[in-house]
Amino acid sequence: MALERSLARLGLRSAGDLLAYRPFRYEPAAPERTIAELLIGEEATIEGQVRQVASRRSGRRLTLVEALVSDGTDEVPCVWFNQTWLVEKLAPGTRLRMRGQLRRGTFAVKAYDLGEPRATADNAPVYSASEEVSLKRLRGLVERVLPLARSLPDPLPASLRARLALPLRSDALFALHRPERQGQGELGRKRLAFDELLLFQLALANIARERDSSEAPALGAPGPLIEKYLAVLPFQLTRHQKSALAEIDRDLAGQRPMQRLLQGDVGSGKTVVALYALLRAVEKGYQGALMAPTETLAEQHFFTIEEICRGLGVECLLLTSALPAKEHEAARARIASGRAQIAIGTHALIQKEVEFKKLAVAVVDEQHRFGVEQRTALSEGHSPHVLHMSATPIPRTLALTLYGDLELSEIAAPPATRKPVITSWVFEDRSAEAYRRLRKHLDAGRQVYVVCPLVDDAAGQARAAEQEAERLRKGELAGYRIGCMHGRLRPAERREIMAHFKARELDVLVATTVIEVGVDVPNATVMIVQEADRFGLAQLHQLRGRVGRGAEQSYCLLVSRPKEELSEPAQRRLEALVRTSDGFELAEVDLAIRGEGQLLGARQSGFSDFRFTNLRADRALLEQARAAARELAPSLSGTPLEDEL
Ligand code: ADP
Ligand code: MG
């Protein structure tokens, strides 16, 4: 169903998702006026009865619905844009309430209600909508599921709730979606953020407890394989990488399972460190596993790691659900027999049916949700050493609090040889010039990514990428070797294309956002992002992280329609990218912009996985959640909280 798909694009797949869909702001209070009292330009609400209604065209793209509404004091023509179907709903005699502004003798309607005041209420929630799902629609859907909140049990012990003065979860959800006064929505959000942080802390406490009751293989000191590995790296490790390695060495030397978080922005060089940890296991006759959140990312890690491992004589394999049953089984058998020394995959890697012969080190990439997955990897008192990798940009002191019992290693700066990517924002009408510049780079032997516009469905996205590749082959980039990569290709095909691109057998890679993560080709120095305004800020930051990986100066060109045609949040996103490549700063900007609206679903554009928590602003809440987790963790079994974990 179309609506279902459109909702899924916003990350909304269930009633629960709708309940947890956080408004990014609330409408401010607007005075109630009679029509006679209306002031020009002031946002106000009025109520009245429709006298007559009609629709008409206005210009090429606009249709207007105009209803003459009277309330006894006076009458005023009220207008809606591009909602022709309203004519039928607003038959003469209909009573309605509207919020809007008097401009040039007509009342421009921003929101209206035929029944109870909802959309026109003060503090009405504003959700991030999309082109297919309007704000009005979203409000209606949330209103429909909201009553379900009443029957939701509250997993927090009443005493704790009272002590911290937190509302019931059901009340918090009502407050979030239907606040009755200013500030109430924020109180609701805080309670939900508390839950989120508490669950996170409980999961961490779980890890800590299991760690105390289990042992990992002591891996001693690094030996000859590691020496060889460090020798084949084509660069010097940075100071930050070196200290991360030293910290990992200390952890691996003993039997206490390592639980270390490796933090560093996109492109800061975490993979080298991760592979180091894996090889430390291999060297001592054990296995290493790397888990990524998506299959694409797992694949990309595999390409990078396998290449290095081949040179070192280390057996690697990729295990994903995309493998045909037979191959999947064979891969599992190689893991079980210990023949595979490093296994790379999604979290499916540590599910029950996958038995490792002797797993000593697990690396978990971009993982914010701890708990469940890890536990299955444990068997009676044995646990691997775990290295968690994260690119979530948060300051060190905050990370220390958030991750509590995890040790922290930080790659605080990218390799010094790296020049910051020069980013510019160009408009479509000037894109011919962009391609001219591009050809200069191609002629100098550099390689290029062209990122295609976002399209809703995977099939359409793949088609768009292929068409774009074809168009460039015939047009702007005729004569260059152009490959095309998208999510519809089989992993083996993608792998082949990436291998060609890496080997410089392709000059240009036209791609969808499948290249957002993990792709690593240092000779690729230019990226063009088409219709860049349609992407989220975090996504663009990730994408741009694909260039600027070598010593050459790299460039990122963000192409969009003329500035005036873009929404203000889109303009601010692109301006921010031009101004800075600092992940911390971009995360701040993202938060600020999201306070005012965004086109894309929260899911697609987040710098952090938390829905309700603003890590920086919620510091105090985080401390409370930590304290509560410490208090609750020992007696968790059989409680509703345990079920949520
Ligand atoms: P991350 O996983 O943190 O996003 P990567 O590990 O993929 O970053 O590293 C990004 C790029 O930088 C890769 O091409 C990698 O080979 C390169 N790189 C890593 N460490 C160094 C270093 N010390 N000096 C130069 N280049 C490096
Ligand atoms: Mg990486």
The tens digit of pLDDT for each residue in 267-320 reads 889 999 999 999 999 999 999 999 987 777 788 889 889 989 999 999 999 998
Q: How high is the pLDDT of residue 595?
A: 53
**Structure-block tokens of residue 353:** 């049916």
- Predicted confidence band at 601 (pLDDT cuts at 50, 70, 90)? very low
Q: How high is the pLDDT of residue 425?
A: 95
Test site for ligand 1: of 229, 235, 237, most ligand atoms within 8 A of the Cβ: 235
Secondary structure, 3-state, 208-238: HHHHHCCECCCCCCCCHHHHHHHHHCCCCCC
- Predicted confidence band at 380 (pLDDT cuts at 50, 70, 90)? low
CA of residue 549 to ligand 1 center, whole Å: 7
Q: How high is the pLDDT of residue 596?
A: 42
Residue nearest to atom 23 of ligand 1 (CA): 237
Q: How high is the pLDDT of residue 369?
A: 54
3 state DSSP class of 526: strand
- Predicted confidence band at 599 (pLDDT cuts at 50, 70, 90)? very low
| Report field, pTM of the whole predicted structure over 0.85 | no
**Structure-block tokens of residue 7:** 């909702």
Which of 38, 56, 61 lies closest to 48 in space, CA to CA?
A: 38
Percentage of the chain beyond pLDDT 70 is 93
Q: How high is the pLDDT of residue 185?
A: 92
**Structure-block tokens of residue 537:** 């800020």
d(CA 106, CA 56): 15
CA of residue 418 to ligand 1 center, whole Å: 10
- When comparing pLDDT for 310 and 6, which is higher? 310
The region of weakest confidence among 63-67, 313-317, 452-456, 594-598 is 594-598
Q: How high is the pLDDT of residue 349?
A: 80
Contact at 8 Å (CB) between 68 and 50?
A: yes
Is the pLDDT assigned to residue 378 strictly greater than 60? no
Mean pLDDT of the chain: 87
Test site for ligand 1: of 268, 301, 417, most ligand atoms within 8 A of the Cβ: 268
CA of residue 82 to ligand 2 center, whole Å: 45
Q: How high is the pLDDT of residue 132?
A: 73
| Residue 343 CB-density burial (10 A; 0-12 exposed, 13-18 middle, 19+ buried) | buried
Is the pLDDT assigned to residue 11 strictly greater than 90? no
Contact at 8 Å (CB) between 511 and 449?
A: yes
Q: How high is the pLDDT of residue 423?
A: 96
d(CA 121, CA 113): 9
Strands 555-560 and 524-529: parallel
Is the pLDDT assigned to residue 201 strictly greater than 60? yes
Mean of the pLDDT values across residues 218-226?
97
Mean of the pLDDT values across residues 75-90?
90
d(CA 174, CA 180): 9
Residue nearest to atom 10 of ligand 1 (CA): 267
